[in-house]
Amino acid sequence: MSVLEIRDLHAKPTTDDVEILKGVDLVIRSGEIHAMMGPNGSGKSTLAYVIAGHPHYEVTQGDILLDGESILEMEPDERARIGIFLAFQYPVAVPGVSVANFLRTAVSNLRGYTRQEKDNGDGVIGSHLMPMRAFRKLLNEKMKEFNVDPSFARRYLNEGFSGGEKKRTEVLQMAMLEPKFAILDESDSGLDIDALKIVAEGINKLATPDRGFLIITHYQRILNYVKPHYVHIFYDGRIVRTGGPELAHELEEKGYQWVEQELATAATA
């Protein structure tokens, strides 16, 4: 079993001194699905970026540990190699790079195939990737399992993709990379009901006993299809309440104003 632990995490953008994360404590274990809900601007996406090692954010206090080892000094690609995956809310298009080539490079890096060779220090003359036959077999199996059209492999990454196609491609990436912990930053954003069901089905297939999930969302609707073990309310840079799936339904009924009122009452008590 693996454990992703966040201890008293404080962080801010590298461009200013405004603290966004104000003491986040969270433990995610293999096999657990955690949902994090909160209003716009509360810091949910910042938390996802900081875990993944986004260079635009600086940790000012606290730690992030994977299986007891701090990952704060690791670059994003190093964090990916040890099992951290981030699915973006708005996946970017990469013209000229096919989905297949992108995935082959990513899988090769994570599985240790890629290495550079130099000729007398004059520069890189070659690199090693996962053998094409093995990669194609793996890609075809995963595309079939996760209902991804085979034509996606030839398309440029996310270029001209609908919202549902982008999110489905993110699920395909997860399936290919097989992370220990997957962080999904509003993967339900911009999806119609059919696309949402397809993405949720993919997440459920990947929710195995050896993988943990953190699903960041504004709405309860994706949780109708992906059942979390824990639901956290994120407010003003920290987790202010934790419960079971019923907490998501309470938020859906009442909104977030009652959370603010509860905190204000507690602060004056």
Do residues 199 and 219 share a domain? yes
pLDDT per residue over 150-159, tens digit each? 999 999 999 9
* End-to-end Cα separation, the chain, in angstroms: 41
pLDDT at position 213 is 97
| pLDDT value of position 187 | 81
Specify the pLDDT at position 186.
86
Residue 120: predicted pLDDT: 45
Contact (Cβ atoms closer than 8 angstroms) between residue 153 and residue 139 = yes
pLDDT score at 127: 55
- Quick check: is 62 in a domain? yes
Q: Give the domain range for residue 148.
A: 94-157
Residues 126 and 205 in one domain: no
pLDDT of 266 reads 73
Predicted pLDDT at 269: 63
Gyration radius (Cα) of the chain, Å: 20
* 113/87 same-domain check: no
- Let me know: does 152 contact 99? Beta carbons within 8 Å: yes
> Cα separation of 249 and 133, whole Å?
47
- 130 and 26 within one domain: no
17 shares its domain with 117 = no
* Statement to judge: residues 233 and 206 lie in one domain: yes
Is 0.75 surpassed by the pTM of this model? yes
| Contacts of 261 by beta carbon, 8 Å cutoff, 6+ apart | none
* In a domain? residue 40: yes
Pair 69, 187 in one domain: yes
Residue 122 is predicted with a pLDDT of: 52
Is residue 171 domain-resident? no
pLDDT at position 143 is: 94
Residues 210 and 78 in one domain: yes
198 shares its domain with 65: yes
Distance CA 128, CA 107 (A): 12
> For position 91, what pLDDT does the model report?
85
CA distance 139 to 176: 7
Claim to verify: residue 195 and residue 214 sit in the same structural domain: yes
Which are the contacts of 220, defined by CB distance < 8 A and separation ≥ 6? 37, 248, 249, 251, 252
Q: Domain of 9: which CATH number?
A: 3.40.50.300
108, containing H or E segment: helix 99-111
| Cα dihedral 235, 241, 242, 247 in deg (nearest 10) | -90
Residue 158's alpha-carbon distances to 91, 203, 252, in angstroms, are 7, 19, 31
Q: Are 9 and 237 in contact (CB under 8 A)?
A: no
Residues of the chain below pLDDT 50: 116-120, 124-126
What was the pLDDT predicted at 123? Answer: 53
pLDDT at residue 255, as a whole number? 82
CB-CB contact of 83 with 183 (8 Å) = no
